[in-house]
Each structure stands twice: as structure tokens, then as C-alpha cells.
Amino acid sequence: MNKYTKLSDFEINKKVAEKLGLKFKDGVIVKNGEWFYFDPCNNPSDAWQLILEAKLSIHTDFNNDCESWIVRNIHIPMVNEAKLSRGISIAYLLMKDAENETNNKR
């Protein structure tokens, strides 16, 4: 279990937006002067950029009858979530935490 598992989707969305350097308020972000709904925990198009940036690998959990997803990267522990987009968002936050730890050790 990781520190993000118990957070609501809204809280995770907010943390992801902050890591991306976006202004987040009431589920909306401002990008290039325009307002957009931002919900990477539920919207695959919002989660897609996280997959690419963090180079995440996604697999079905065959040990759990494919009812959940495994999201991983070599630098973070495996994330197992029923909702794929939420798992991607959590893995992205873990990836950013790992990057910060590496940078702070230098």
C-alpha cells in the first residue's frame, strides 16, 4: 500500500495537476489561458500524458481474474487498482516522488 491509495480521486487529480505545474481549482485547470476539466483518475485522455512522461507499463492482473490493473515502472513499487486511470495517476505520483528523492540525495 502507498500513501496515495486512501486519497479520493479529486485529491489525486489535484496532486497530479500540481506535479504538472498546472493551476487546479474545483476540478478545472487553466492551460494557455483556457479552462479545462482535469480528471486523470477517470479520463483516459488526461491520463495518457502521464503514461508517456513516466514510461509506465500497464498489465491486467491475471491473479485477480483480470478485474484490476497493474501499473509499474522499474523505479516504483507495483500499483494495483481496479480503475486503470486511477492506477496510472497514482503510479505517476510515485514516480515523481522517486525523482524528488533521487534529486534530494545529490
- Domain assignment of residue 14, yes or no: yes
Residue 43: domain span: 9-105
Q: Is residue 62 part of a domain?
A: yes
CATH number of the domain at 32, please. 3.30.2120.10
Question: What's the structural domain count of the chain?
Answer: 1
Confirm whether 67 is domain-assigned: yes
Q: What is the DSSP string of 8-68?
A: -HHHHHHHHHHHTT-EEETTEEEETTEEEE--TTT-HHHHHHHHHHHT-EEEE-GGGTTSS
Which tens digits make up the pLDDT trace of 24-46? 888 888 877 888 899 999 999 99
63 falls in which pLDDT band (50, 70, 90)?
confident
